[in-house]
Structure 1
Amino acid sequence: MKTVTMADVAKQANVSKSTVSQYLNKRYDYMGEKTKARIEQAIKELGYQPNIVARSLKQKSTKTIGVIVANILHNFSTEVSRAIEDVCHKADFHTIICNADDDPDKEKKYIEMLRAKQVDGLIIFPTGNNRDLYRKMLDQNYPVVFVDRSVPDIPISSIMLENEKASELAVDYFAKKGHERIAMITTPMNENVSSRVERLEGYQRALQSHGLDVREDYMRSIDPDQVEGILEEMLALDQPPQAILAGNDLILKEVLTFSKLHHFKIGEDLSVIGIDDVPYASFYSPSITTIAQPTFKMGKMAGELLLDKINKKSTADQRPDYHFEPTLMVRESVKDNKED
């Protein structure tokens, strides 16, 4: 079957090729409605598909960005990516989303693959272990934005939560309800994953501010599938924790699973707060108190910031990180020990 060309569309619509090009690029300033209608009808009748590769070469833009998330299983990653896609869709940009699984090698392959496909910019939830690649993009003035994490000595703007404050809000609320033995479980600690480090630091500082002990046996950084065993150890201590702060949504899920399996009543036998306001938190029984991130605002800013860089509206990356405030969502999963 013969490939339909722009010249075929122009002939069918009785206009010039340049007019068809202007129509395809949405430059309608001097184009009448009847002309637009004829071109639209010709495209429909002929089944014309623009040559995206040729247009990209001519315009020096693929109108595409890449998003590399650290772990797509996180509710945070899903919601932020959705907001980024919304922003890009409105700007007529396509979005390619890749999942790095917190694996630096996989992240490296995706960065190289997406750049080989000539995407116009990248939004990365960085593993932190590809510093040479990050610096190379900076040196080349390649548009890139980080989300959720910053990387020391790599001045790429990052969209982040006030992570220390998130933990502080949780510990403050536990303390307000009369809890003194407060544990925190988070995913494996990695100094390159700034959000996890900051949440643990915020937890420790909040305990100290309330005059509570910072106990090593109450702080664990583990894979989610280890949560059951760790909780069994903690709750078998001479002084078991009264409250658990789950460092993210994956840990919270495992804590709730443990409570069901072992017949612990959340909000009575054990108080729980999770960082990340997962969709089921409000209708789980009992409903779960969480620390919410403004995920859609964060994703929107990440998308807008990258498009600004692509469109040369912002200069080389010496800008500070952008921090967003967490919000305590009070529900039913924290027992009021002051009533005892």
Structure 2
Amino acid sequence: MKKITIADVATYANVSKSTVSQYLNKRYDYMGADTKKRIEAAIKALGYSPNIIARSLKQKSTKTIGVIVANILHVFSTQVIRAIEDYCNASNFHVIVCNADDDPMKEKRYIEMLRAKQVDGIIAFPTGENIDLYQGLLEENYPFILMDRLVPGVAMDAVLLDNEKAVHLAIEQFIKAGYKKIGMISPPMEQPVTPRRERMEAYKTALKKYGIEFRPAYLASGEITDMHIRIKEMLTLADPPEAILALNDRVLFELLQYTKDHQVQIPADLAIIGIDDVSFASFYSPTLTTIAQPAFDMGKKAAQLLFNQIQGDSRSETNVYRFAPQLMERESC
């Protein structure tokens, strides 16, 4: 079959090619209602479909952005993606989502793939290890926003939670409920992941604020696959913690599974607070006290910042936007 072109649409609608082009680009300012109807009817009758690649080359824009998440299984990640997609959809942009699994090599390949596809910009939850790659993007002035994490030594616009405040809210809640033997469990601390490091340091400073001695045995980290081992080691100490802060949602899942498997009663035997307000927190039994991140607001802000860069706003200075967490007080503490 012969491919239908703009010229075919123009002939069928008895208008010029430039008028059809204006219609396709939604420039209707000087276009009569009858002309619009004729073009619309011609497109429908001929089955015309715009050549997206050709239009992208002409406009120097693919109307597409990339989002690279560290781990798509996190509730926070999916909520951020949804907010970004909503914002892009309203601006007639498409989104390509890539899951890096906290793997620097996968992250590098995804960035290269997205650049090859000529996406207009990227929002990434960085691994923190591809420093030279990010520095090159910065020097190139390529539209790029960091989400949830920073890259050491690279001054890019970023959107993060106020991690220090999140941990302090949790520790304050534990203290308010009468707990002083407070532990924290985290994914691996060896990786340069901003929220983990900031929350670990905040945990220590919050304990100090309330005159509680930091006990290394009460701070555990490890891969999710081994998390039950770390939890068991902590809860079977001669003097175990009576309250635990789960650093993120996946750690919380493992902690809840452990308490179920070992008949640990919440909060009678162990008080729990998790950072990330998981969807089931309000109807789990007992309901779960959490520290909520404003994920949708953070995703929208990241999209706005990226669009500003795409539209040519100069980077006179770099900004890190910190969003306030919220304590969701329920029954687990």
Query: What TM-score bracket applies, with the shorter chain setting the length?
Result: over 0.9
CA offset digits 1:166-218 (Å, max 9, x no partner): 11110111011110110000111145211110011111100111111211111
Where does residue 311 of structure 2 map in the other structure? 311
Where does residue 76 of structure 2 map in the other structure? 76
Q: How does 1:109-124 map to 2 (within 5 A)?
A: 109-124=109-124
For 1:325 and 1:213, the matched residues in 2 are separated by 27
Check if 1:265 corresponds to 2:240: no
CA offset digits 1:2-55 (Å, max 9, x no partner): 111111111111111101100111111111111111111111111111001100
Give the partner amino acid of 1:243: A
* Conserved 8 A contact 1:138-1:317: no
Where does residue 325 of structure 1 map in the other structure? 324
* Conserved 8 A contact 1:291-1:328: yes
Q: How does 1:60-209 map to 2 (within 5 A)?
A: 60-190=60-190, 192-209=192-209
Check if 1:250 corresponds to 2:250: yes
For 1:70 and 1:191, the matched residues in 2 are separated by 12
Q: How does 1:200-239 map to 2 (within 5 A)?
A: 200-239=200-239
* Conserved 8 A contact 2:293-2:325: yes
Describe the SS at the equivalent of 1:15. Answer: coil
Give the partner amino acid of 1:327: Q
For 2:148 and 2:167, the matched residues in 1 are separated by 15
* Conserved 8 A contact 1:190-1:197: no
Describe the SS at the equivalent of 1:328. Answer: strand
Name the stretch that deviates more: 34-43 or 52-61: 34-43
For 1:181 and 1:236, the matched residues in 2 are separated by 14
Give the partner amino acid of 1:96: I
For 2:192 and 2:230, the matched residues in 1 are separated by 24
CA offset digits 1:230-254 (Å, max 9, x no partner): 2221121111110010000000001
Describe the SS at the equivalent of 1:97. Answer: strand
Give the partner amino acid of 2:142: Y
For 1:231 and 1:145, the matched residues in 2 are separated by 35
Give the partner amino acid of 1:17: K
Describe the SS at the equivalent of 2:228. Answer: helix
For 2:72 and 2:104, the matched residues in 1 are separated by 15
CA offset digits 1:144-171 (Å, max 9, x no partner): 0000001122110110000011111101
Kindly tell me: are residues 317 and 284 of structure 1, through their superposed partners in 2, closer, same or farther at Cα, counting changes over 3 Å?
farther
For 1:75 and 1:244, the matched residues in 2 are separated by 20
For 1:304 and 1:192, the matched residues in 2 are separated by 26
Give the partner amino acid of 1:129: E
Describe the SS at the equivalent of 1:153. Answer: coil
CA offset digits 1:245-282 (Å, max 9, x no partner): 00000000011111111111111111000000010111
Q: Note the C-alpha offset of 1:225.
A: 2.1
Give the partner amino acid of 1:13: A
Describe the SS at the equivalent of 2:280. Answer: helix
* Conserved 8 A contact 1:190-1:196: no
- Figure out how many residues of one structure are paired with residues of the other and give that number: 333
Describe the SS at the equivalent of 1:279. Answer: coil
Q: Note the C-alpha offset of 1:140.
A: 0.8
* Conserved 8 A contact 1:225-1:254: no
CA offset digits 1:96-153 (Å, max 9, x no partner): 0100000000000000000011000000110011111111111111100000001122
Kindly tell me: are residues 104 and 234 of structure 1, through their superposed partners in 2, closer, same or farther at Cα, counting changes over 3 Å?
same
For 1:191 and 1:162, the matched residues in 2 are separated by 20
Where does residue 287 of structure 1 map in the other structure? 287
For 1:183 and 1:59, the matched residues in 2 are separated by 55
Q: Note the C-alpha offset of 1:94.
A: 0.7
Describe the SS at the equivalent of 1:280. Answer: coil
TM-score (norm 2): 0.98
Q: Note the C-alpha offset of 1:319.
A: 2.0
Where does residue 29 of structure 2 map in the other structure? 29
| Identity value in percent | 59
Q: CA RMSD in A?
A: 0.9
* Conserved 8 A contact 1:81-1:299: yes
For 2:19 and 2:132, the matched residues in 1 are separated by 46
Check if 1:276 corresponds to 2:255: no
* Conserved 8 A contact 1:245-1:274: yes
For 1:231 and 1:303, the matched residues in 2 are separated by 37
